[in-house]
Chain A
Amino acid sequence: MYSNQVRQATVAEIPNRYVLVFDRQESGAPGIAAAQRESELPQLLAEQGYSSTEYFPMLGIAVVTSSADQLEDFRQRCAGHKLPASVVPELVYRILPDAPAATDSYADTGQLTWGLQAVGASLSGYTGKGINVAVLDTGFDSAHPDFAGRTVTAKSFVAGEDATDGHGHGTHCIGSACGPREPQQGPGYGVASEANIFAGKVLGADGSGSDSTILAGINWALENKCEVISMSLGADVRTVHPPYVTAGRRALELGSLIVAAAGNNAQRSAGNPGFVGAPANSPYIMAVAALDSKLAVADFSAQALDTDGGEVDIAGPGVAIYSSWPGAKRYNTISGTSMATPHVAGVAALLAESTGLRAQELWDKLLSTSRDIPLPAEDAGAGLVQAPASQEA
């Protein structure tokens, strides 16, 4: 089921062309008699100087080329004959190029990662411009050439470490959320390629952190009016940790949406579905599952808990994800609900830009526009996150 494949059309009026509809507009009223449609109307049209080649007697509809004065004169003529006539401008319709048919299998190409293809970022006219996206993680390699010229605000909350990414995970997540779609080399890998980046270092070079650093990072993101906060981190605990209930709720109150990785504690191939850990199991934090390139749930991706907030809310690409990496390596391909989360954050930025929605309304929009996939909600929530379509030219 691919419920979001909507064909769209553009319309424009054609100058001096009108559609004349000879009928009573009231619901249930009898139409005009066949004799009038077949003889009286063609005669009236001819007397007005209109061609009868575009008159359709079966329908009681004519399409004419006319000046406004001529049209008004004709309307009065019809009224004199007690013929109901309505006039609308003729429109030209153009079917937009179809989006590629929804597929359930993707692969990296020379132009785009499979993840960008799957979420529809490559077809979106939106880039997250003007939207502040905070990625709270292991920091960022601000010298990475793919981010030259980008607006980046970085801050470390880890004692004894600056905001430089000494791990790689943070730079990778920032790449998926906010990296380029057309880098100088290799495939495009970033969803919100023009968003303002806020790189909050809340995990140290060893990849771990605590409430002290993470909550400080959330607080900083809120102070900086970040519309989207992405957290690819977690702990394998079933119990909801109260500080994140408050943090998620207050973020929504302040116009911000927090998305977090559901967790990698499953081993589905061994019969262990895992569970959504903290902080993603807060009711006010959106929990993100990971899919592979065939849109199957990843073996490691945690399943919903049977508690308020323990749901999996949405899914994103999270297996074999190519993105930026610090230092000379520049790029790396890794897996995790960590990788799915910034895809959702990036799409949230595009939706925030395209709709103006924030916080809970943005949350609802992300879910309602996601792509239905044949997976249980306990594994993939509302489905695969989807970028908004292009703006009309």
Chain B
Amino acid sequence: MSGAEVHVYVITISTQHPLEPVVSELQSRGLQVKQVLAALGQVIGEGSEDVAEKLRSISAVESVDAQQQYRALDDDA
């Protein structure tokens, strides 16, 4: 995975912190925010692996995870 390649990430924010200031900080560190999921305290955004590393150093950030793919689970799928 190249450090410059862009991926979609799920960023989970600690409930101890208000969401909006953290979202601003994520953006200031280079994340292109796509969705803010307030009930879950999670943010979906795009950025490089280098950006993801910067996000992991924010104290309010619990985890930064590269997006996974899923499929319907009927046995014929």
Contacts and interface: CB of A to CB of B under 8 A. Distances in A.
Interface in A278-297: 278-279
B72 A233 contact: yes
A234 B71 contact: yes
Give the residue among A208, A210, A246, A278 with the most B Cβ atoms within 10 A.
A246
Nearest to A137: B72
A240 B48 CA distance: 23
Contacts of B10: 211-212, 215, 243
B4 interface: no
Contacts of A138: 72
Given A216-B37, A250-B39, A254-B39, A243 B12 contact: yes
Dominant secondary structure at the A interface: mixed
Contacts of B74: 169, 172, 232, 264, 334-336, 338-339
Contacts of A338: 72-74
Given A216-B44, A278-B68, A233 B73 contact: yes
A224 to B, nearest CB: 10
B71 A235 contact: yes
Contact of A250 (B35, B41, B68, B75): B41
A212 to B, nearest CB: 5
A335 B76 contact: yes
Contacts of A219: 37-40, 42
Given A237-B68, A243-B10, A334 B39 contact: no
A335 B12 CA distance: 34
Interface in A193-223: 203, 207-212, 214-216, 218-219, 222-223
Interface in A235-255: 235, 237, 241-243, 246-247, 250, 254
Contact of B73 (A210, A216, A261): A261
Contacts of B73: 232-234, 261, 263-264, 336-338, 341
Interface in B6-28: 8, 10, 12, 15
A167 interface: yes
B30 to A, nearest CB: 18
Contacts of B76: 334-336
Contacts of B34: 212
Q: How large is the interface on B (under 10, 10 to 19, 20 to 34, 35 or more residues)?
A: 20 to 34
B71 A215 contact: no
A235 B37 contact: no
A247 B34 CA distance: 18
Give the residue among B40, B69, B76 with the most A Cβ atoms within 10 A.
B40
Given A246-B40, A247-B40, A233 B71 contact: yes
B44 to A, nearest CB: 5
Nearest to A339: B74
A304 B12 CA distance: 26
A300 interface: yes
A210 B75 contact: no
B12 to A, nearest CB: 5
Nearest to A211: B67
A208 B63 contact: no
Nearest to A299: B75
A215 B38 CA distance: 11
Contacts of A264: 73-75, 77
Contacts of A207: 71-72, 77
A275 to B, nearest CB: 14
Nearest to A288: B73
B62 interface: yes
Contacts of B72: 137-138, 167, 169-170, 203, 207-208, 232-233, 336, 338
A141 to B, nearest CB: 15
Contacts of B77: 169, 207, 264, 336
29 contacts: A169-B77, A207-B72, A208-B72, A209-B69, A209-B71, A210-B69, A210-B70, A211-B44, A212-B8, A212-B35, A212-B67, A215-B10, A215-B40, A216-B37, A218-B37, A218-B40, A223-B39, A233-B70, A233-B72, A235-B69, A235-B70, A241-B68, A242-B62, A243-B42, A247-B40, A250-B39, A334-B76, A336-B76, A341-B73
Pick the 6 closest A-B CB pairs, nearest first. A336-B74, A219-B37, A338-B73, A222-B39, A207-B72, A261-B73
Given A215-B44, A219-B40, A338-B73, 4 more contacts: A207-B71, A212-B8, A216-B44, A250-B15
